Structure 1
Amino acid sequence: MGIQDLIEGKKEWRAHQARVKALPPDYRIVYKEMQKYFFKVGPVDLPDGPLLPGIVDFFEEGVAAGKGVLELIGEDVAAFCDGLIKESRTNADVIQESLAGKRGPAGT
């Protein structure tokens, strides 16, 4: 990854953050909690993937439709997050694979 890629990535992240800041307060709170959750357990491709921008798109559509954030995602935010990443390789998967590789055959 070259310096130009880093600069471009930083510009994209700032634009993304500006979109988040433009959301109503309840949407921003839920987005920030989802973001924390995804950074802990989320998909390996989170920084470069379409998940976070897709959530902002979804939230912007909900705002435009006049819906509350919990009307869109339901009361259980973690379950909603889990549903979004159920088919993705997560950080937990990477750790489990790493530990499995260190054990050796038959748990020795």
Structure 2
Amino acid sequence: MITESNEPKSRYRRYLEAVTGLLEDKKRWRQYKARIKRLPENYRMAAEALERYLMHFGPADGTGAMEMFADLADLLEQSAADGTPIRDVFGDDPVEFVETFMANYPLGQYRARERNRFISAIARAAGEDTAREDGR
């Protein structure tokens, strides 16, 4: 886990990070990309595909996303080291895998909660469900 110094940031750095995002997150992103680049080709292809999916549907904040990407790199590095086939990692339904993977992170949990709320609202609108999710 990376922690920041307790020293106050310079005015320039605060401005720069407000415009470009946290510099620590950028450093962690470069480290993640270097880790993925060292994977065997088939694991690298899977990582890049999952990364592309997460960029569209995953957490939007830098720090939460970086935690997820670091965990992804850990998973794929360990799988490659163990010789675990890609299908054994991702299963027959890669979307189910990635949705479950994302649900383990705070913003992913929000997405799952909103998805369930949406499904319940449609069921109520269709007259299939009378109980509200929030208990009202």
Root-mean-square deviation over aligned CA pairs: 2.4
Correspondence 1:88 to 2:103:
no
Correspondence 1:65 to 2:82:
yes
1:65 Cα offset (Å): 0.8
Structure 1 unaligned segments of length 5 or more: list them: 94-108
TM-score by length of 2: 0.57
CA contact (8 A) 1:43 1:88 kept: no
Q: Quote the residue 2:24 is aligned against.
A: 8
Cα distance change of structure 1 residues 44 and 8 upon mapping to structure 2, 3 Å threshold: closer
> Could you say what secondary structure the match of 1:20 adopts?
helix
> Could you say what secondary structure the match of 2:109 adopts?
coil
- Higher Rg: 2
Give me the whole-angstrom Cα distance separating, in 2, the residues matched to 1:58 and 1:48. 19
Which of 37, 45, 48 aligns to 1:21? It is 37
Which amino acid in the other structure matches residue 48 of structure 1? T
> Could you say what secondary structure the match of 1:35 adopts?
helix
Give me the whole-angstrom Cα distance separating, in 1, the residues matched to 2:27 and 2:69. 15
1:55 Cα offset (Å): 0.8
Length, aligned pairs only: 91
Give me the whole-angstrom Cα distance separating, in 1, the residues matched to 2:95 and 2:78. 21
> Could you say what secondary structure the match of 1:43 adopts?
coil
CA contact (8 A) 1:43 1:89 kept: no
Structure 2 unaligned segments of length 5 or more: list them: 1-12, 115-136
CA-to-aligned-CA distance 1:44-96 (integer Å, 9 cap, x gap)? 44x31211110110111111111122221213211100111235224xx5xxx
Give me the whole-angstrom Cα distance separating, in 1, the residues matched to 2:26 and 2:60. 19
TM-score by length of 1: 0.70
Give me the whole-angstrom Cα distance separating, in 2, the residues matched to 1:12 and 1:22. 16
Larger RCO (alpha carbons 8 Å, 6+ apart): 1
1:40 Cα offset (Å): 1.2
Q: Quote the residue 1:75 is aligned against.
A: 92
